[in-house]
Structure 1
């Protein structure tokens, strides 16, 4: 009993001491209690980075395009529209032109849609008239079986799920594209596998294909962005087709969501093409992409020829009499070959009295010769600030420039971690670059001279 009393008195004295020092007891106890980690919130878009779609900067804003006339690219196939608009978003991708307008997507081969669970017999007969051979369901296997598509002619059906079932139950709106845990529609294992299978099925299909998710806008919309990018469509048409769903279904999509998706891909892979071809991305090779183009593109007949120079016809003149031929002159004797007794002299210029002509080589501006000499991973972390208004890049080869740090006044105050150090030879000069990581996990390459050391936790000096 005495032991317990002494322990109680000791705790009381400790409490009074802490309160006298101005330290709340709750704070002291909290310091010994494991804290629950706060979930990471989604990164905000980097203000210095503009998403790049197929080598071009995406516009800052885009409005939903107008509904095109029937039969034009983006127009819907007229099916019976139910109360929730499930049958209003069925479209043929045929008619979209490539960037150079020399080819177009062949009509009657590629159809995007919402789930085919509420179609009428008339709708089924209309779709069967397209001789669809394969229906690709981008929903989960559970939803594929729970809400089965109607049988369309002799078409077979398969699942290429983009979400896991837990994701499908939880995600909505922009969460499809940018989630707190980083497993967005672009990078989750299910999405990578699902879109790889989708594109591969397009190459191997023996006839027209229809693909869909639930409403035909998010998973199907991104599938169409990937497909149209590989086929070489204009960015304007790719974005318009993505936003066209807003004209046909109640469940809307937003342009900022597409920018978020492309921006995430830019940041991790450097470009959409890298994401499509990379083994860590969709793993859809250049040969497979060429096969896709050969299968679904046809000559458009709309190629714009280069304008030919128009020459003004000269007025017809009276023929002039032929000039009287001059008498033949004696041929000029060949020059004497110099011997050891005859000194060699420089030949006279072709045009006597005129300076020699010098043809200047075309100036090759903008080319930078760069070679990576060495890369090493730093064993001990260093905390640094980025100096204001310094250029930094996505990759080590300095091909994808992000912008300049400090434009918003945020970067100079943020604490970055040094990860790697590399030596580069740029136009004959040796320069040192370092890979740094932001508090949000973003990685950049920047010159070593453009960072300021905050805290040296190792024996390395800045």
Structure 2
């Protein structure tokens, strides 16, 4: 295939060695990546073939999902992936992950437009990367730019910001920039919302289609119900076309989410702010049954409002009607009488509870701190993204022993009452705001 001659890749054998922890520094310590070396039919050897076979045996064959494009070497259709219970699968030709589209040929454009019905393209790259290698337009498709790393990140300041393909990944990069980073959280939320509006195919990509695109795929497949193994296998298959990802990176990503949020579902609901109703709608749009009937997944419907009591008391004609007059005084049940006998104005039997007013929060003073990692947080206590206490992170882990550094102190008035909140930061760069009373000093 022509694609093999233009793949931007590391040596597949080198990838396998790095996955095994042999022959080089740990990727978890890496912060930059050299420009990959292309592997072509003429340069591949027996070692490369053996390394590729090892990857396929462990993580599955990428050719089952790979779209044969000349100008995008990591384009894959997620259609066919099954949920953990095996009852549902992703619709074909609806969700396509890819490397950048700068090299698309006219034939590639026809494949995406006519064969896969791509009508929406989401580009996760930074503005500098997009300017250097702009996408080739796909007929009939709109394009949306959502920089997952913010407007100016890493390689954007260099002369050639995309020569190394995607930004180098490592465990801390995934956690700090793709899990908790503000641009990533907002970008992925907008991406998921766009998926809810497109009845045709959406293609989403970054530079190499492995890091930013990889995490977008993790989020989508998690919502749709794939198992963690299925998600990890798909993530690792970027190595089969010359990308460089490691199992340790995605493992650390999952681990941090579970430590801080308990589950991927809670992380998506709480931090990404993609609601359970939206998640149910996504499943109804992108899942079909695996029984051969291709039945659409049915999103649970909200219960209908009942205007009358659901329990009807049966008539009891055998009992004689009370000997009281039909019209009883209306004042007795409608008037509340104190022990003194004085009656208040008539009130309804069931008092309507008023909506709770939003707390008034005012920051009165701020102070930067420079403390060491000598503090821990009490478990299951509410913490926040900002000191205005408007965005809740959820609750602190019950048994987490992570130590934290105090980086900022703010005195806050909540409905006129004084409180002290600290911004805390751990060794991985996570930050949150929490009440002073929930912070304990490590002796």
TM-score by length of 1: 0.51
Q: What is the DSSP-based 3-state SS (H/G/I as helix, E as strand, rest coil) of the residue aligned with 1:151?
A: coil
Map of 2:194 onto structure 1: 201
The partner residue of 1:285 within 269, 275, 278 is 275
1:71 positional shift: 6.8
Determine the C-alpha separation between the residues in 1 that align with 2:222 and 2:205: 18
Map of 2:93 onto structure 1: 108
Contact 2:171–2:250, Cα closer than 8 Å, also in 1: no
1:141 positional shift: 3.2
Specify whether residues 147 and 386 from structure 1 end up closer, same or farther in structure 2 by C-alpha distance, changes over 3 A only: closer
Q: What is the DSSP-based 3-state SS (H/G/I as helix, E as strand, rest coil) of the residue aligned with 1:134?
A: strand
Determine the C-alpha separation between the residues in 1 that align with 2:198 and 2:135: 19
Determine the C-alpha separation between the residues in 2 that align with 1:151 and 1:216: 18
Q: What is the DSSP-based 3-state SS (H/G/I as helix, E as strand, rest coil) of the residue aligned with 1:77?
A: coil
Query: Is residue 257 of structure 2 the alignment partner of residue 257 of structure 1?
Result: no
Map of 2:263 onto structure 1: 271
Between Structure 1 and Structure 2, how many residues are aligned? 282
Specify whether residues 121 and 183 from structure 1 end up closer, same or farther in structure 2 by C-alpha distance, changes over 3 A only: same
Task: Render the CA deviation track for 1:303-325: whole Å, top value 9, x for unaligned.
Answer: 9xxxxxxxxxxxxxxxxxxxxxx
Map of 2:147 onto structure 1: 161
Specify whether residues 165 and 65 from structure 1 end up closer, same or farther in structure 2 by C-alpha distance, changes over 3 A only: farther
Specify whether residues 228 and 176 from structure 1 end up closer, same or farther in structure 2 by C-alpha distance, changes over 3 A only: same
Matches within 5 A, 1:375-394: 393=379
Query: Is residue 134 of structure 2 the alignment partner of residue 148 of structure 1?
Result: yes
Query: Is residue 181 of structure 2 the alignment partner of residue 188 of structure 1?
Result: yes
Map of 1:133 onto structure 2: 119
Contact 1:177–1:185, Cα closer than 8 Å, also in 2: no
TM-score by length of 2: 0.53
- Structure of greater Rg: 1
Contact 1:115–1:149, Cα closer than 8 Å, also in 2: yes
Specify whether residues 385 and 96 from structure 1 end up closer, same or farther in structure 2 by C-alpha distance, changes over 3 A only: same
Query: Is residue 85 of structure 2 the alignment partner of residue 96 of structure 1?
Result: no
Contact 1:178–1:260, Cα closer than 8 Å, also in 2: no
Query: Is residue 196 of structure 2 the alignment partner of residue 178 of structure 1?
Result: no
User: Bigger shift: 187-196 or 287-296?
Assistant: 187-196
Tell me how large the CA RMSD over aligned residues is: 4.5
Determine the C-alpha separation between the residues in 1 that align with 2:203 and 2:231: 18
The partner residue of 1:228 within 208, 214, 221 is 221
Specify whether residues 393 and 126 from structure 1 end up closer, same or farther in structure 2 by C-alpha distance, changes over 3 A only: same
1:262 positional shift: 2.4
Determine the C-alpha separation between the residues in 1 that align with 2:381 and 2:254: 17
User: Structure 1 regions of 5+ residues with no counterpart?
Assistant: 1-42, 45-62, 81-85, 304-380, 406-410, 420-434, 455-462
Q: What is the DSSP-based 3-state SS (H/G/I as helix, E as strand, rest coil) of the residue aligned with 2:204?
A: strand
Contact 1:140–1:161, Cα closer than 8 Å, also in 2: yes
